Amino acid sequence: MRKFLHGIALVCAGLAVSCGNDDDQMPNVAPDPVTGIQTNVVDGATLEISWNAAEDANGDEVTYSVSLNNLEIASKISETSLVYDATDLVSKLGQNLSKGFQAGVTITIKAFDTDDMVSKDAVVSQNLLFNRAPSDFQFGDVEFINTFPNSELRVNWYPAFDEDRDVLSYDVYINDKIVTLDYVIGSNDVVGTTIIDKRFAAYLEKEFTIKIVANDRTGGETEITKDFNFAATDVEVGSTTTPYSETFNFSLLQTEIDREIDYHFEITKTAGLEIVDVTNNYGVNFKLFDEFNNEIAAEYNQLSVVSIDPGKYTLKLIDNDSKPNLNGSFRLVIEDIDISDRDVDTTTLPLDDTFTFDTSKKDDGAIRYNFTITEEAFYYFDSIDDSFNQGVYLYNADGTLINSSTYWEITGYIEPGTYYIEVKTHQNADRGVGTLIFRLN
């Protein structure tokens, strides 16, 4: 009997403890309403909505449903922010409006716990300024026009579209320098056009960017850019060894808006320069500049410089007529100019050669060409220069004059032996550059 009563006592004690635990447990309650709702227009019709996380007394995970003007735009999300494309809403609210518009919006957020207990609504109403930026647009033709003596850069672009029906203006930049401001495309114009006259050189470098900004004048902007690199077609010839002769093929396409190709080279001694064997389908200008950008010479479809000093140079091949596509070739020739006496190799006859000379570089105004022949030969020597100031004289080895002329060629026969030709400036005449024609048969 005693054991039976003890068992009853234990059961009663267990029931008492169990009843005590049920009385102490906290009931499940809904989350608190969210706070700190913020709504911003981040781009045209795009909204960013954020809020502070709701507190849940039971420590449950909380999710959120968000409504915009009574339209649910998010359901049971765990994040405390979202981005929403409100284009449809903006189109409805902003119909027939321009210059941007104020629109009233109401944001309602509900917080849910894991048992779908829902908080009181958190509601915020506010006016927002909606302004959609202009649409993307495209470049048209970009033309670099050389029409001697003037040059211009012409930039065309197709118009952007503005959903708010704003009147758009355009700003044009070159390397972030404004060149056209508040340009409005006419109602009958297909493209926008800006022309930069010969002053464009102040803006352009070998590499540059054209930027066009479409502006709705209410803060909405869309820009396009186009990069150019004039140096992309440049040719680095490098240091040349005189005499030098090389043929270059060239192609100026419509995409080459500056319509020129630069050839960079260096000569290490006084020389003459020529552009010869020019072949092309239209015609080009050649211009030669020194390393300080001083123009030395310019000619159409050819170039000849009788004497240039050692240094670095740029030869520009230029299409001044803006032809659609210009193709061809030319040969660059750099020749020795004799400014001192030289020996002529006459081991193989017949010999037909020319030598460019510059008597202004010689103190006595005379340059000697020494040679030896091992068989009788017919000679033809002539000195050619623009002013006929350089005479030609033939001597044997001991200095005896054999033949000479101050204006014309000299010819005749000479026996095997050693000789020299002298080109010499006439008395009181100007010294300068000329060409000696040297023939032995």
Q: Is there a single domain that holds both residue 48 and residue 123? A: yes
Among 106, 130, 154, the domain boundary falls at 130
Same domain flag for 433 and 343: yes
pLDDT at 199: 64
**Burial of 383 per CB tally in 10 Å (0-12, 13-18, 19+):** buried
Burial of 330 per CB tally in 10 Å (0-12, 13-18, 19+): buried
The answer to whether the beta carbons of residues 226 and 189 sit under 8 Å apart is no
pTM score of the predicted model = 0.52
Burial 147-170 (b: 16+ CB within 10 A, else e): eeeebebbbebebbebbbebebbb
Q: What is the pLDDT of residue 421?
A: 95
Residues 322 and 349 in one domain: no
Residue 5, domain member (yes or no): no
Task: Report the b/e string of 226-236 with b at 16+ CB within 10 A.
Answer: eebebeebeee
**Phi, psi dihedrals of residue 401, rounded to the nearest 5°:** -70, 125
**Is 381 within a domain?**
yes
Domain stop point among 230, 253, 273: 230
What is the predicted pLDDT for the residue at 322?
64
Q: How far from the centroid of its chain's Cα atoms is residue 287's Cα? A: 23
Inside any domain, residue 199: yes
Beta bridge partners of 67: 72, 108
Enclosing domain of residue 114: 35-130
Question: How high is the pLDDT of residue 243?
Answer: 85
Of the residues 74, 108, 130, the one at which a domain ends: 130
pLDDT by position in tens, the chain (length 441)? 444 445 444 444 444 444 444 445 789 999 999 999 999 988 778 899 999 999 999 999 999 999 999 999 999 999 999 999 988 877 776 554 456 677 889 999 999 999 999 999 999 999 888 888 899 999 998 887 655 455 678 899 999 998 878 899 999 998 888 999 999 999 899 999 998 876 666 666 667 899 999 999 888 899 999 988 777 788 999 999 988 989 999 988 766 667 789 999 999 988 888 888 788 877 788 999 999 989 999 998 888 887 888 999 999 998 866 667 788 999 998 887 777 788 999 988 999 998 888 887 777 788 899 999 999 999 999 988 766 678 899 999 999 999 999 888 999 999 999 999 999 887 666 777 888 999 999
In this structure, the answer to whether residues 46 and 123 fall within a common structural domain is: yes
| 87 shares a domain with 65 | yes
The terminus-to-terminus CA distance of the chain in angstroms comes to: 156
pLDDT in tens, 317-361: 988 666 677 889 999 988 877 777 889 999 889 999 988 888 877
CATH at residue 144: 2.60.40.10
- DSSP letter string, 285-340: EEEEEETT--EEEEEES-EEEEEE-SEEEEEEEE-SS--S-EEEEEEEEEEEEESS
Give me the CATH number covering residue 247: 2.60.120.1050
Q: Which residues neighbour 152 within 8 Å (Cβ) at sequence distance 6 or greater?
A: 145, 195, 196, 197, 198, 200
Residue 82 shares a structural domain with residue 126: yes
Distance (Å, rounded) from C-alpha 316 to C-alpha 255?
Answer: 18
Q: For residues 74 and 117, state if they share a domain.
A: yes
Distances (CA, A) of 317 to 256, 259, 287, 288, 354: 12, 8, 7, 9, 28
For residue 204, give the nearest of 266, 259, 139 by alpha carbon. 259
Vertex 288, ends 256 and 144: CA angle to 5°? Answer: 25
Nearest to 394 by CA among 365, 435, 424: 424
Residue 29 lies in a domain: no
